[in-house]
Amino acid sequence: MLKSVSSHFSNLTRPAFIKTGRTAAILAAAAALAVALTAAHSAGASPARSGGSFTFKLVRTPGVTCLAHAGGSVTITRGDVNDTMTIKIHGLPTGTGFDLFVIATPNKPFGLAWYQTDIKTDANGKGTATVRGVFNVETFSVDVDPTATVAPTHQYHLGLWFNSPSKPFNLGCEGTATAPIVTPFNGVQHAGIQILNTSNFPDNAGPLSHVKA
């Protein structure tokens, strides 16, 4: 496209055509178009860091004995001062609540965890949520209380938990467990087991570490 515009502009500059005001106007328009196309081409070749995105999968937590087709995808889009994270899940029980956390490691013991959002599935077992925050290589937590110091710790993984302990138990998700397993992964610290995570990435290089700040 740029080559054809440049060629056309070159042809217009031949002495035989530079005779009228109309030709001058054509020359000016062609030059402006060439500049605009060059700028657009350059922007496409080198996108600004702000506005770039990274998409990755959520996979079923290893050891879970139900919902073989459970999964999800996450897209993180960089902004000028923070990031937008869009989560989509599928293959899950209908009308069911879940809780999403940013965590240090995808599987037990999980490490530091940061509560992000609730997600509820629809009649097709699908759900979605969008949150804003810092979801990139700089994501971390710290506790500077001298009586319980926690060093700055990066959290590059995601985990999704059942909001209710009874739901996964009744679905047969907990293997040989004889009672619902209770975890602290919701707002009242009385949730079910984890169903999805990012264990498809190494423990020390979770997906958030691939998003530039």
**119 and 66 inside one domain:** yes
Stretch 104-110: mean pLDDT: 98
Range(s) of the domain holding residue 95? 53-210
pLDDT bucket at 44, cuts 50 / 70 / 90:
very low
**170 and 103 inside one domain:** yes
Phi, psi of 36 (to 5 degrees): -65, -45
User: Given this model, what pLDDT does residue 148 score?
Assistant: 84
**97 and 136 inside one domain:** yes
CA dist list (Å): 165 to 18, 162, 173, 174: 81, 7, 11, 10
CB 208, CB 76: distance < 8 Å: yes
Kindly report the CATH number assigned to the domain that includes residue 99.
2.60.40
**7 and 39 inside one domain:** yes
**80 and 128 inside one domain:** yes
**163 and 73 inside one domain:** yes
Kindly report which listed range (25-29, 112-116, 155-159, 197-201) carries the lowest average pLDDT score.
Answer: 25-29
The residue among 5 and 78 whose pLDDT is bigger is 78
**74 and 176 inside one domain:** yes
**41 and 67 inside one domain:** no
Query: Above 60 in pLDDT, residue 105?
Result: yes
Beta-strand ranges (E) seen in 16-94 are 53-60, 71-78, 83-90
**202 and 100 inside one domain:** yes
Count of structural domains within the chain: 2
**Residue 76: how many other CB atoms lie within 10 Å:** 21
* Alpha-carbon span 165 to 16, nearest angstrom: 84
**87 and 189 inside one domain:** yes
**Residue 108: how many other CB atoms lie within 10 Å:** 10
* Alpha-carbon span 91 to 71, nearest angstrom: 6
By DSSP bridging, strand 83-90 and strand 150-154 are unpaired
**113 and 182 inside one domain:** yes
- pTM, to two decimals: 0.76
pLDDT bucket at 62, cuts 50 / 70 / 90:
very high
User: Given this model, what pLDDT does residue 124 score?
Assistant: 98
**83 and 161 inside one domain:** yes
